[in-house]
Structure 1
């Protein structure tokens, strides 16, 4: 990366690294794991070391794979799912290879293995770390039973462009929320003891800045000043390291022209020297080889050299290290110490997973899939992931006066699509759809008329819409399940137009013309531009892709057995031209004011007559729905915010409290959000920054005082001299239900 003012930091970092290395040499003598690693390393040939740095996809018990394992030419295997095959390959490694080093078996287990939870963006809408941790724990138990001990999750890329398909895998647009929920996911995957047979090594990805891909296109280039990198994109990774994430993964993108798989500043200076991270750093699939089309390497040999010297420990399906690293070391282009350090990180992970003591997976007669407990947790996650965006006339929940419901739309009974993207091991036949759940759970109370209208989300054949309209005419209320098929989001599934695909919008208009109340339920992998649809619908429930138990969760929400509590983890734009649009924006010198929208400007108006402020003529100043937004079937009243003092000195803590009361008739949960603003600083600061949140449960009429605190470190930000510090002056805080409301209260830092 081409950053400025780095020499003082690098010098200090090198001094600290030297001192730390000296300390590690002394402590290693008393650390049995490190001693074992060094002893084993001293016995390894260069070829065996490089073999540990090679990760291959599964080929079953093919002759090629058996040869690679016996000869120590592979350290980890991806995508092998048969426990008996895993055990045989492990036996070859432990009993027939020269040094008996066990393998790590890995798989993408992103939001569930068999029991699928909502997509990560949906889980983030719960604003509930326990929900996220439970989802990862269930995934770990199920996957580990099949022999998988390493997953490539959580994806903690801060994501502010809904055109990017991988926003579905993210935890939203905010670094604080992403940090908290990412740490919870790591805890769920790794459990209390990483060496336990039902735990998996987590992998914090993608390091780093992948969510900033230009125009929302996957794998695309990024241009990120170091201040923004440190302030926005790196905090979730710092939190992941502090949470004990066993591994990190390089991102595909380049930053300022330097691909992450060949970036020593990221992988060495920051990750190793500054953060003292001692876990394993793996490339993404083929990302070392892909530095050739990036245009920074002429061939695979050069790519191997660049990646090794950028301290990438393991090559995932790139074949660069296994083919060229020995030659590069022998020629002096790559130091063998770099290879040794990489192998130490790999062996350390194998020790932490307990593979040297217990390399085999127990072959079970009955796998722990779809247990009652797991399904209940998946359902609760889907309940808490749904966000109520609109509820005119309290259409929801459906009351006793509703006798007939029309269940329509392409997502009403789409078992495969509701599980969402990137769940290779999902079994759609186990998904319970909204139509099935409504019939099973509420079919005795209401008459259900089912008519898809459109066969799939992209369907443009309008012939079936008439049948859906006829169903609507015979009903008391219409439940329209719309959105995206799962294939439209996820990796390499970027969209320039993020409106409802196919003829879904036309279908909604036709349904609304019947005069019947229409409840629009969106099941999608990203925020969609649905301003027109929100205006037409009477109620809107944004459910993302909710996983195996999406149907029962939505049925309970619609009929009032469950109460919506989700809040948006990402902004929903009015139109795609607003992107990027996010809550923590800078104010500018001319913030939007006196807005005249394009259709309101009189013909012949003078150029100077409508003012000069920052907004779009056709979209105004605000998104459709802001970060943190979400309604309930009840109402919550926020009292005035109280501060422990109006002025604090450096080193002191400011305590903040606010009383929240449930003033409605339903017992419900509310996500209380805590924001801050530095009003005057040397560098312009965001209009708000999330600094805390708490999900509380209140009975009807109940109140609770919610407390937050701020320290000097919370007030600090990265300055242009690359030092993070707080500046004296005025600050504002809000305790509010979302990022756009609430009354600001000021305090001062001396």
Structure 2
């Protein structure tokens, strides 16, 4: 203990000699903070980083880039306006209150801001009374539509797992109604994870993955939309799926009763070759059922069922079988 006290005393003595205890809060200075935080150089770098992060998934007929003049633009969706859902979940000192939204960025980029209108249309998860009707009117009166949909920052990040990684139904209904107007539409995806894309989103002329871009989210997105910065095509890793499966819940709560290498077996959920069995999943529009049958000496086959809501009537019936070679999904 004496040696430990001596070591600590030497460290404290050195800090005292360096003057660290004279004014321990001298670096916490509001004036210094204003001079070094959110400087023009920092904001320029944030805007550049945001624009370079955007990924283009689709651009049929070279709809993008858009001209900065001569077109009426309708911004529709729960992410088009308001200082919210901009900096994402992975932040420490940042604040949405200091970020620039999409509407502000687009209006700053065009020659006539009065030609840009904004309508929420729906909430992130819930519809807004009269929202779709207002969105359809705005889209019908515009030359091009920017539809900003996706997930909130609370839907991704640490400890934010989701069974359904698709776009919430309220926003899908909004997208379907807007696309039905026939106006050229650019989908601006707000997401922080891999997502399932299906109709009607895939029917849009152009799709950009805009993530949570931070304090310069609006200007960075506008730079891509109007061609000031070229989009990245395949230069970023993006995981998007056109088909989803319900959650498969598998459990193994028994000791292995057969030697390793025995025929059959379920990989992952069951130990490799530990038990004979088969995993069969049947997908129906209204119900997904999971049946696990296992053969055990001297016991009846155990059957477990889990039920979960299906992904929707547009999915076809599918079967899956899990054997020794792994899991294969057969449409």
On the 8 A contact 2:68/2:110 being kept in 1, the answer is: no
**Distance in 2 separating the partners of 1:451 and 1:563:** 27
1:538 aligns with 2:241: no
Match of 1:497 in 2: 164
Residue segments in structure 1 that go unaligned for 5+ positions in a row: 1-40, 50-96, 103-350, 581-597, 602-612, 619-750
Deviations 1:19-54 (A, max 9, x none): xxxxxxxxxxxxxxxxxxxxxx97315xx99xxxxx
Deviations 1:142-179 (A, max 9, x none): xxxxxxxxxxxxxxxxxxxxxxxxxxxxxxxxxxxxxx
* Structure with a larger share of its residues in helix: 1
User: Aligned to 1:390, what secondary structure does the other structure show?
Assistant: strand
On the 8 A contact 1:409/1:451 being kept in 2, the answer is: yes
- Structure 1 runs of 4+ with >4 Å offset: 97-102, 354-361, 598-601
Deviations 1:55-87 (A, max 9, x none): xxxxxxxxxxxxxxxxxxxxxxxxxxxxxxxxx
On the 8 A contact 2:172/2:201 being kept in 1, the answer is: no
2:3 to 43, 46, 51: 43
Change (3 A) 1:44 1:458: same
**Distance in 1 separating the partners of 2:144 and 2:137:** 12
**Distance in 1 separating the partners of 2:140 and 2:178:** 9
User: Aligned to 1:511, what secondary structure does the other structure show?
Assistant: helix
**Distance in 1 separating the partners of 2:207 and 2:16:** 49
User: Aligned to 2:47, what secondary structure does the other structure show?
Assistant: helix
Match of 1:387 in 2: 55
Change (3 A) 1:402 1:491: same
Match of 2:106 in 1: 438
Match of 1:511 in 2: 178
Change (3 A) 1:446 1:517: farther
1:412 aligns with 2:80: yes
**Distance in 2 separating the partners of 1:355 and 1:498:** 55
Change (3 A) 1:470 1:527: same
2:141 to 471, 474, 477: 474
- The alignment's TM-score, normalised by the length of structure 1, stands at 0.31
On the 8 A contact 1:457/1:502 being kept in 2, the answer is: no
Match of 2:223 in 1: 556
Match of 1:362 in 2: 27
1:397 to 65, 69, 94: 65
Match of 1:170 in 2: none
1:617 aligns with 2:283: no
Q: CA deviation at 1:547?
A: 0.5
Change (3 A) 1:416 1:556: same
1:452 aligns with 2:120: yes
- Residues 611-650 of structure 1 aligned to structure 2 (within 5 Å): 616-618=329-331
On the 8 A contact 2:149/2:187 being kept in 1, the answer is: yes
Q: CA deviation at 1:472?
A: 0.3
2:243 to 575, 582, 589: 575
Match of 1:30 in 2: none
Q: CA deviation at 1:615?
A: 5.2
Q: CA deviation at 1:400?
A: 6.0
User: Aligned to 1:495, what secondary structure does the other structure show?
Assistant: coil
**Distance in 2 separating the partners of 1:412 and 1:446:** 16
1:427 aligns with 2:66: no
On the 8 A contact 1:411/1:481 being kept in 2, the answer is: yes
Q: CA deviation at 1:451?
A: 0.7
**Distance in 2 separating the partners of 1:356 and 1:422:** 39
Change (3 A) 1:434 1:355: farther
Match of 2:275 in 1: none
User: Aligned to 2:116, what secondary structure does the other structure show?
Assistant: strand
Q: How many residues align?
A: 250
Deviations 1:491-533 (A, max 9, x none): 2111010011241111111001111011000011112101324
- The alignment's TM-score, normalised by the length of structure 2, stands at 0.67
- Residues 675-690 of structure 1 aligned to structure 2 (within 5 Å): none
